Amino acid sequence: MGHENRTSTKLLYALNREAICVAASAAQRSDFYLLQRLGIDENCVPLLKRIGIHELDRLRDFQASIVDIHFNSQTLTQLLGHLQRETQQEELVDRAIRLGLRQPMVRALAGISRREFDPRRAMLKMPPGEPGRIESLNERDELRVLNLWLALKKDEPELNDLERLCRVAEETALSADRIWNAVMEGI
């Protein structure tokens, strides 16, 4: 048996096993609505209620699929878009943390709590945050930051404040927390 065929057999086994587990669980809970949605005939329900680990292991020998899968393309597109936006938001928050944005600012811009912030910072291998006041920018840097901020706001209005803040921090090589304070004071 070739590698591709073995992989297909393993995937088929995994799919069949998962489908049987869902159906058996629904049968054991007498969830007839789910069983109907799955297309399970009522004659299968007593058999599904008796499914155990030994029967599941025997599925390895069954070489046919017990389910037909059809994707709802519209819902799948919505789901994948949502997942992509969530991932991009997480990456943006990580980027902001790396650029020096402190927890209260991340909370204000992205809704990240202290409870989420500290482990995330540790995961990013960032040193513990420095307590105390944030150093202000000198006048030259402040003007540069404000001009860049306003230019991004004008040229790319679709950017949210967190993305704009990261862009300004990357372009100026200044700490994001110092930039945020300058922007809040200057606008």
Query: Which pLDDT does position 170 carry in this prediction?
Result: 96
Helix boundaries (H) for 29-131: 32-38, 45-49, 53-57, 73-98, 103-110, 114-123
> Residues 96-152: pLDDT tens digits?
999 999 999 999 999 999 899 989 999 999 887 767 788 889 999 999 999 999 999
**SS3 letters for 103-142?**
HHHHHHHHCCCHHHHHHHHHHCCCCCCCCCCCCCCCHHHH
Query: Which pLDDT does position 169 carry in this prediction?
Result: 95
Query: Which pLDDT does position 90 carry in this prediction?
Result: 94
Angstrom distance (rounded) from CA 138 to CA 104 = 23
**Ordered structural domains, the chain, with CATH:** 3-61 (1.10.4000), 75-186 (no CATH)
Please state whether the predicted TM-score (pTM) of the whole model is above 0.75.
Answer: no
Q: What are phi and psi of 85, to 5 degrees?
A: -65, -40
Grade residue 65 by pLDDT with cuts at 50, 70 and 90: confident
